[in-house]
């Protein structure tokens, strides 16, 4: 097996189990290296970790194990996949089926770079963002089939990383141990989160068509929805709106830039109303509008809503974009604080990993000052326990949010 030497002074983070090694930290010449498992040593030839080298990746060396007795082979990948799946045992043990969507592999946080796997009922969605995971796609699919026997596997290459990883965007379908090309649009897959029904049509929609990382946030928000007039900004396919309606909201306005997402939200409200999950008449207590949330907020009168959810798309993909993202978040939250009634509730979220909880909290303080209101923080949020945060890999933390009460002075 090939050995890769790390430059002097570049090993500190790696010894602390950070898994990413960029080209500038590698002393060994690329021409001497091949794609595959590698022994990684410090400049003085001390073992650091086992890794996977791929010169075409934007992160050419990804560390996998710091146990020198390990062997990185098919058996290691199968074992690590199984360990990740089994760590979600409490979700599989939900006998009532109240929640049948959750994450079972979360990339580097589960020691599996570039690999995310979500459960949606009886379907698995595999999302690949690194060449190492693409190279192992057959093994990944076979291992998951052996563990879980899904009725369908959908595998996609994350469009956000395809270019950097020199991968083609792709969507692959697998059933009964074989890849196939659908002859027609597939039937919807139905699943539940906190007993609320959702459907996705495999291979359509932004990302998966549903985000399973905001479960606790939606449940917390529901407690504040009774008799509330609600504004759901970035509503996507309606998960927050559904919880608000189940909580007894008087009315919910859903705003999203995607007309098709709003159509799916209306469908979700209809099937839940029909199933008795949300109150009868819920469909008549909503409005939908395809619009930019920044522009829409500026058209709303002050003191109009009791509850506002702000769930924008990722605004800072890189550290360089952080300052601009914070300005945008501040603009959104200031406007929301002006539009909400006294004693109203705002759920303010950021899915930009470069925006920390402290940054978001300081931004809310500045927003409150500009809006001339007082703010009480009632809850702080991150993603749920099926999206674990690995302390040696801070990049595994990306979602932050606050549930706040706004008080007029």
- The pLDDT of residue 231: 98
Residue 208 corresponds to which tokens in the numbers above?
């998966």
Confidence of residue 215 (pLDDT cuts 50, 70, 90): very high
Q: Is the pLDDT of residue 243 over 60?
A: yes
- The pLDDT of residue 319: 85
What is the overall mean pLDDT for the chain? 95
CA distance readout (Å), 243 to 232, 239, 279, 325: 11, 6, 11, 28
> Is the sign of the CA dihedral 85, 90, 91, 92 positive or negative?
positive
Where b means 16+ CB within 10 Å and e means fewer, 279-317 reads eeebeebbebeeeebeebbeebeeeebbbbbbbbebbbe
List, in order of start, the domains of the chain with CATH numbers: 2-65 (2.30.130.10), 75-180 (3.30.750.80), 213-408 (3.40.50.150)
Report, as an integer, the average pLDDT of 72-78: 98
Q: Is the pLDDT of residue 210 over 90?
A: no
Confidence of residue 409 (pLDDT cuts 50, 70, 90): confident
Report, as an integer, the average pLDDT of 24-35: 97
Is 187 strand, coil or helix? Answer: coil
pTM of the model: 0.94
Total Cβ atoms within 10 A of residue 229: 20
- The pLDDT of residue 94: 80
Residue 339: closest CA among 231, 235, 228: 231
- The pLDDT of residue 347: 98
- The pLDDT of residue 261: 93
Q: Is the pLDDT of residue 330 over 60?
A: yes
In terms of pLDDT, which residue wins out, 210 or 220?
220
Total Cβ atoms within 10 A of residue 39: 16
Contacts of 228 (CB under 8 A, 6+ apart): 244, 247, 249, 250, 305, 306, 307, 345
| Percent share of the chain, pLDDT over 90 | 90
- The pLDDT of residue 370: 97
- The pLDDT of residue 316: 80
Q: Is the pLDDT of residue 143 over 70?
A: yes
- The pLDDT of residue 205: 60
- The pLDDT of residue 317: 79
Report, as an integer, the average pLDDT of 144-162: 96
Residue 337 corresponds to which tokens in the numbers above?
């604080």
Q: Is the pLDDT of residue 91 over 80?
A: yes
Residue 243 corresponds to which tokens in the numbers above?
């919880």
Q: Is the pLDDT of residue 209 over 80?
A: no
Q: Is the pLDDT of residue 21 over 70?
A: yes
Instruction: Give the span between the Cα atoms of 20 and 16, in whole angstroms.
Output: 11
Instruction: Give the span between the Cα atoms of 297 and 391, in whole angstroms.
Output: 37
Provide the pairing of β-strand 123-128 with 152-157.
parallel
Confidence of residue 206 (pLDDT cuts 50, 70, 90): low
Report, as an integer, the average pLDDT of 87-116: 93
């Amino acid at each position: 097996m090939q050995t890769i030497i790390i430059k002097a002074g570049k090993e500190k983070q790696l010894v602390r189990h950070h898994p990413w090694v960029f080209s500038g930290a590698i002393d060994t010449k690329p021409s001497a290296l091949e794609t595959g498992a590698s022994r990684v040593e410090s400049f003085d030839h001390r073992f650091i970790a086992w890794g996977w080298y791929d010169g075409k990746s934007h992160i050419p060396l990804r560390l996998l194990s710091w146990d020198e007795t390990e062997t990185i082979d098919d058996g290691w990948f199968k074992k690590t996949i199984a360990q990740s799946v089994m760590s979600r045992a409490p979700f599989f043990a939900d006998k009532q089926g109240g929640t049948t969507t959750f994450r079972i592999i979360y990339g580097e946080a589960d020691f599996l770079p570039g690999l995310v796997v979500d459960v949606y009922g009886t379907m698995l969605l595999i999302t690949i963002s690194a060449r190492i995971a693409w190279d192992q796609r057959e093994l990944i699919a076979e291992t998951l089939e052996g563990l879980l026997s899904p009725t369908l596997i959908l595998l996609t290459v994350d469009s956000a990383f395809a270019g950097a990883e020199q991968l083609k965007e792709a969507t692959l379908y697998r059933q009964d141990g074989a890849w196939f090309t659908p002859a027609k649009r597939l039937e919807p897959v139905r699943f539940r989160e906190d007993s609320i029904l959702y459907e996705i049509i495999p291979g359509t929609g932004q990302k998966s068509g549903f985000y399973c990382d905001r479960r606790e946030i939606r449940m917390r928000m529901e407690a504040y929805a009774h008799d509330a007039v609600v504004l759901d900004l970035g509503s996507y396919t309606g998960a927050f709106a559904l919880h608000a309606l189940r909580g007894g909201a008087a009315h919910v306005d859903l705003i999203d830039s995607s007309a098709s997402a709003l159509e799916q939200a209306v469908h979700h409200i209809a099937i839940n109303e029909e199933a008795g999950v949300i109150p009868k008449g819920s469909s008549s207590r909503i409005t939908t509008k395809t619009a930019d949330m920044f522009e829409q907020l500026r058209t709303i009168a002050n003191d109009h809503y009791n509850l506002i959810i702000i769930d924008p798309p990722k605004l800072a993909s890189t550290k360089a974009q952080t300052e601009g993202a914070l300005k945008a978040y501040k603009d959104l939250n200031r406007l929301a604080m002006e539009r909400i009634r006294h004693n109203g509730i705002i759920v303010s979220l950021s899915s930009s990993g470069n925006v920390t909880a402290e940054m978001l909290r300081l931004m809310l303080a500045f927003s409150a000052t500009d809006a001339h209101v007082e703010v009480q923080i009632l809850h702080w949020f991150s993603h749920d326990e099926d999206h674990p945060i690995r302390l040696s890999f801070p990049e595994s933390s990306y979602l932050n949010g606050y549930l706040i009460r706004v008080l007029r002075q």
